[in-house]
Structure formats: structure tokens, C-alpha cells
Amino acid sequence: MIPSRKQSKPQRQKRVRNVGLLAGGLAGTLLLGAGIMLMLPGQPEKAGTSADAAARTASPTPAPSSAETPAAPSPSAAVSPAATASPSPSPSLRPSGAENAAATSTPIPAPSVKPPAAPAAGGAETAGPDPANDPHSVKLSFVGDVIMASAVETLLKQHGYDYPYTEVKADLERADLAIANLETPISLRGAPQSKEYTYRSSPLALPPFKEAGFDLVNLANNHILDYGQDALLDTFDNLKKNGIPYVGAGHNSQEAFEPVILDKKGMRIAFLGFSRVVPDNSWKAGPNHPGVADTYNYTVPVESIRKAREKADLVVVIAHWGVERQSQAEAYQRDLAHRYIEAGADLIIGGHPHVLQGFEKYKGKWIAYSLGNFIFTTNTVKETLDSMILEASCSKDRQCSLKALPIFTQWAKPVPMQPADAAKLFDRLSKVSYGSRILPDGRISAEP
């Protein structure tokens, strides 16, 4: 039966009410959602709870690089130039909006800055101006072993006693002070000692040596007593007559270990000489007899360095040590050098191996382990013919920079080395150095 209109009216009204209620519910839901969407962009800090915000304020997020930091801290305290140029954002600056959400949900990658290389033993190099550019710095030039005896003396008699210096005199005179290891007594007296090689040079050799520009010599070596104590005493006298101070030997142990202090450009520079190569115990200076300042027991040399530091603006140690014709420094050489620096030495210049050895910068102080030969007996061993004049520019704040002038020395005649040979020499010496290398222009760099 078909219902009449009068009977279906209540049902139609009920359906209309239901549709209205459904439409109203949907509209309310849409309005509520729109309100939430409108509120979100303006309230980023409410992405977390108030407790979370307090925690971020009290404990800022670590710098991005912290995840890359090893458990054991690096010995270097220095910051690389790249890291300085691009610092990490301050942790107190919080990003807003989408940036904050991204930082919360995704870890920030570590910066692409290369970490600084581990420094050589003794810590990072102290940054500062290059003393070579300071007009008030003192320039010291050092050369290796020098003798005027044996086959060298034959050449000097033929060509003149100034023969060895003609090609290098200008370089030596450019320095404020030039220093050599004099590995021969200067005397006409004495008898050769019981050893394989003995040398003695004529006093006639000293005036041209002085005229070439040399201002001080080291006598702490294994040849200065080749002709006994009389020849050693003559050496003292002959050096004094020619106005050449000496270190490393003396009339007694007190004098042998005493520094020579020279004044240049308002700087007091103390020089000391020690030998770790002594042929016989009788060569060692004692309280009442002449000899050399030995360093088999480093206690006295270390104390001498400490005392010198109290008197001078710069302390230079000239060390005789190592193994002959060996390019790599011995472990004990490094140990002694480090002890000298810890006692107060500012620069250490080594010799004895008759070949060049490498360099090291320890606690901001340079060590040249061996300068090889400068004027020595004639031979054909290639490594003994490679030499250098080492220029050290030193400032009053006890900092030095080094530069090598490569030299080829044969037949008692040091001459500037050819560029191609110099490049090979610098490469070879860089390989036997410690945390340092020689740049193409001869500068010694503490960057390996």
C-alpha cells in the first residue's frame, strides 16, 4: 500500500533533521581543523613541551663536530685556518619555524673542515710573526765542520789561505754573527794522539777565516785535542789573538761549560758547546785541567743552559753528536736536544756526522741535527759534499726562523749548489726530518 502524504510527513521531517545534524558536524570539524592549521605557523616553540624548551635552554646542543671528536683529545691546541674562517654557529642562536623542525628531526652533518695535523713531539707550534721579517731580529749564520789541515792545508798553501771563502764570503758577511765548528787545533806544537785521524792546522789560517766573516767557533768536538793539551792551549791563545771567541772547551770544566754572550742589535745571545763524542776520558775538562765540555752526563750541560737563560735574551747550543755518515739522527740526539730545549735552549745546531741531517721543531724551538762538512778533507763520498749555510733569524721573544742556503763543497771550496741539485737535497732532508720540511726557497717549515 502506498502511504498517504499525511502519513509520511513526520518521517520526512526526521530525515531532514538527521541531514542537518550531519552537515553541521562536518562543518564544525572543518572549522576546527582550519583553526589548528592557522595557529601552527605562528607558534613553533610549541612543537615540544615546556620541559623540552627548558632543557634546550639549559643545555645547548653540542657543536656539530662533537660527534667526530675522539675520546682521547688531540694533543694540538691550535685551530686550523679553515676552521677559523668558517666557525660553527653559536649554540645560543636557535633557528625558527621549519629550520627548527629540521634541526630537531635530522642531525646536522659534521663540517667539511680538515682537522689539523698532529704536531711533532712537544706540542703545537706557537703562532707569531716571522722573525725573518722583523728588522730588529738578529741573523745568525751557521756552517758545519771546518779544518785547515791535511790535504786541505796543501790546497791552502797552493791557492792562498783565503781560497775556501771566495764564493761564500758575501753570504757569511750578510749575517750579524757567523758561527762554525772548528774541528782542528790551531798550533805548531804537540804530538798526534793514538787515534785513527788526527788534524792540526797552522795559525796562518786564522786571519783569512776571521776576514771571511766568522765571529765565533765551537771547540766541543772529537778533534780539538788531536795533538794534546799543549796544542789545545795554543788554540785558545791563537783564537784570542784573532778576536774569535770560542765555546765548548776551556782551561778547566768551569770555563768549558761557561757560555759566551755576544751583544747584537740590543740582544744578548748566549752560545754554549757540548760534545757527546769524546775519544778518551782524558779529553773531558776537569776542575784543574783543560778539555772539552762533554755531555755523556747531561746534568751539567742542562744546568749551564738554565744559567745562561737567566743572563741572555737567546740561548744557542752547538752540539757534537751522532754517527758519522748517517743521515738519520740517533734517538739519543733527539733526547738530548729535547732536554736542552726544556732547560731553556732556543736553538740547537748539531754536527759531527759529516753529512747533513734533518730538522725538528720541538716546543716552538728549532733543532738542526747536523750541518755536515763545510771545509774538510778531500774525498769522493757524495753525501759528505752536500752542505749548507743555515741562516737563523731570531727575535728578542726567543723565536727563530730558519733558511738553508745549499752548498756544494769539494776540494776545500764551498760554492752555491745548482738549483736542480738543491731541490734533490731539500727533498732528501725533508724525508729524514721530524714533522718539518724544506720548502723550495730553502725556508724550513714546521708543516710536514
Q: What's residue 378's pLDDT?
A: 72
Q: Are 134 and 177 in contact (CB under 8 A)?
A: no
The residues near 21 (Cβ < 8 Å, ≥ 6 apart) are none
Residue 22 CA to residue 332 CA, distance in Å, equals 95
Pick the closest to residue 370 from 329, 332, 402 (CA basis). 329
* Pair 396, 436: CB distance under 8 Å: no
Q: Are 169 and 213 in contact (CB under 8 A)?
A: yes
- All three cell numbers of 97, joined, read 619555524
pLDDT (0 to 100) of residue 56: 32
pLDDT for the residue 379? 75
CA torsion 319-320-321-322 (nearest 10°) is 110
d(CA 151, CA 153): 5
DSSP-based three-state secondary structure for 165? helix
Q: What number of H helices and E strands is found in the chain?
A: 13, 18
What one-letter code names the amino acid at 238? N
Domains and their CATH numbers in the chain: 131-445 (3.60.21.10)
**Residues 152 and 376 sit within 8 Å (Cβ to Cβ):** yes
pLDDT score at 134: 86
Q: In the prediction, which pLDDT does 377 show? A: 82
> For each of the chain's 448 residues, which pLDDT tens digit applies?
434 333 443 444 444 344 344 344 444 444 334 443 333 333 333 333 333 333 333 333 333 333 333 333 333 333 333 333 333 333 333 333 333 333 333 332 333 333 333 333 444 444 567 888 888 899 999 999 999 999 999 999 999 999 999 999 999 999 999 999 999 999 999 999 999 999 999 999 999 999 999 999 999 999 999 999 999 999 999 999 999 999 999 999 999 999 999 999 999 999 999 999 999 999 999 999 999 999 999 999 999 999 999 999 999 999 999 999 999 999 999 999 999 999 999 999 999 999 999 999 999 999 999 999 999 987 778 899 999 999 999 999 999 999 999 999 999 999 999 999 999 999 999 999 999 999 999 999 998 6
The pLDDT value recorded for residue 132 is: 86
